[in-house]
Chains A and B, each alone.
Chain A
């Protein structure tokens, strides 16, 4: 079964850091670009970042550039999102998603991040 399972979310103070993980199974993880998408409470979907299949290229939304770092370990079939200098506006459910060639499928179940003092 193709599956993505996120972990690492939680409560963090403003200015703090958190690392999210996304464990992939059931498909050849190393062949696909991967993305992070977030959704603030009661709001819509917002793309955060992407990484090429071999990890050699990354890109970010302006709102997280310089604070977030996407990476992957293809030997462990795992995607990461290192989030530093967190702000209240980063509060959201964070989803990882597989890029099947200009569309996302599947998505993980999401991990919630709350930035609050």
Chain B
């Protein structure tokens, strides 16, 4: 199974901050890497697919980069509505696996 390691597991940031979350795969997954945002009590929402493609309707302050084993989700200027948990996901091979999540909290 491909292990997805996300870091940090949590972070505190202020509105307007630049935030970076990393995800590392235990083997190369090409660009089969997606990022989701989840707010408490809600379903996950797709932000970035195929490592760097912005999902329609998602603000441009979100961006993704990386390939092979190392990936990054960046929020260029944190907004109040961005306080949530974020998960990476590999869809290169089954079992499909998610990172452990990063909780972004208000500083």
Contacts and interface: CB of A to CB of B under 8 A. Distances in A.
Nearest to A4: B43
A110 B42 CA distance: 8
A111 B33 CA distance: 26
A44 B95 CA distance: 15
B15 interface: no
A107 B50 CA distance: 18
B95 A62 contact: yes
A35 B34 CA distance: 15
Nearest to B91: A102
Contact of A44 (B49, B91, B96, B101): B101
A37 B95 CA distance: 11
Contacts of A61: 95
A107 B98 CA distance: 15
A105 B55 contact: yes
Contacts, number: 56
Contact of A102 (B43, B50, B99): B50
**How many A residues are at the interface, by size bracket?**
20 to 34
Given A102-B49, A104-B89, A105-B55, A47 B43 contact: no
Specify the main secondary structure of chain B where it touches its partner.
loop
A45 B98 contact: yes
B46 A103 contact: yes
Contacts of A59: 94
Given A50-B94, A102-B91, A104-B34, A44 B46 contact: no
Interface in B1-53: 32, 34, 36, 38, 42-46, 49-50
Interface of B: 32, 34, 36, 38, 42-46, 49-50, 55, 87, 89, 91, 94-101
12 contacts: A37-B44, A44-B87, A45-B36, A45-B87, A45-B98, A47-B98, A59-B94, A95-B44, A102-B49, A103-B34, A105-B46, A108-B43
